[in-house]
Amino acid sequence: MSEVFNNIPGITWRGDSIDDIEILRELPSGLASVLGAANGFILHGGALHVRGASLAPEWHSVRAAWRGPNAFHTLYESLEASDIPFAQDQMGDQFLIRDGAVIRLAAETGEVETLVDTLDDFFRKVSEDIEGFLNVGLGHTLQPGQLLLAYPPFVFQESDAGASLKPAPAGEVILFHAYLARQMRDVPDGGQVGFKITD
C-alpha cells in the first residue's frame, strides 16, 4: 500500500502528526499504512480529502466522521456503524471502507454504490485518473476544511441549467446534504420539493 501511496500526485496539504493512536489501531492495515506515511492529505486543492488519525480539527478527523456526534452512519440510513468514512471529494460525496471494499455515498441522495474492491485499487485509480475516476474537476482551489456547495443541488432538475458552486465549511455542507437526503428519501422521481430560505 505505501508504494501505491508514494505514487499519488498532487498532494497540496498534509495533516499534522498523528495524535489519535487509538483510532489508528482500529483501522484496516492498508489505511493505517497510508496514514502512517501522511496523516491524511488533500489532493489538487480539494479534489479529494483523505482524513487523518487526528483529534482535531474535526473536519480532518477519522474519529469524528466515524464515531462522533455527527458520524455519517447517524446521518444516513444507508450506512452502517462499521463503515469507515476515510475520504470525501470536493462536493462532499463520501468514500467509506465496508468489508474491505470502498463504497461511495452520494451525499445529496444517500445512495450507496461499491466503487472498487480494495483500498489499494482506490488509490491506484486516483493516481491514474482522479478526474475520471471520481468525477471531480481540478479547476477549483479550496482551503483545507472547505467543500463546494452546489445551488441548486445537483439532484434537482433545475441544476441542469447551471448550478453555482460556492466554497463553504465542510461541516455545514455535510449537514445540509444529510438533511437534503432525508427530505428526498420518500420523494418519487420527478416529484417536487420546496425550499424555505432563512437567515
Grid cell listed for 128 = 491514474
Whether the bond between 69 and the residue before it is cis, its omega within 30 degrees of 0, is: no
Total tally of structural domains belonging to the chain: 1
Q: How far apart are CA 72 and CA 83, in angstroms?
A: 9
Question: Residue 8 falls within a domain, yes or no?
Answer: yes
pLDDT in tens, 37-88: 999 999 999 999 999 999 999 999 999 999 999 999 999 999 999 999 999 9
Residue 178 belongs to domain with CATH number: 3.40.1580.10
Question: Residue 193 falls within a domain, yes or no?
Answer: no
Residue type at position 152: P
pLDDT band at 155, cuts 50/70/90?
Answer: confident
What pLDDT sits at residue 61?
98
Question: Residue 58 falls within a domain, yes or no?
Answer: yes
pLDDT in tens, 96-121: 999 999 999 999 999 999 999 999 99
Question: Residue 50 falls within a domain, yes or no?
Answer: yes
pTM flag (> 0.85): yes
Q: Which residues pair with 89 in a beta bridge?
A: 48
Mean pLDDT over each residue of the chain, to the nearest integer: 89
Question: Residue 67 falls within a domain, yes or no?
Answer: yes
Question: Residue 169 falls within a domain, yes or no?
Answer: yes
- Percent of the chain at pLDDT > 90 equals 78
pLDDT beyond 60 at 159 = no
Tell me which residue range forms the domain holding 100: 2-184
Instruction: Please count the other Cβ atoms lying within 10 Å of the Cβ belonging to residue 130.
Output: 20
Question: Residue 146 falls within a domain, yes or no?
Answer: yes
Question: Residue 48 falls within a domain, yes or no?
Answer: yes
Q: How far is CA 43 from CA 17, 136, 155, 183, in A?
A: 18, 11, 25, 32
Any idea what DSSP says for residue 158? G
Grid cell listed for 66 = 466515524
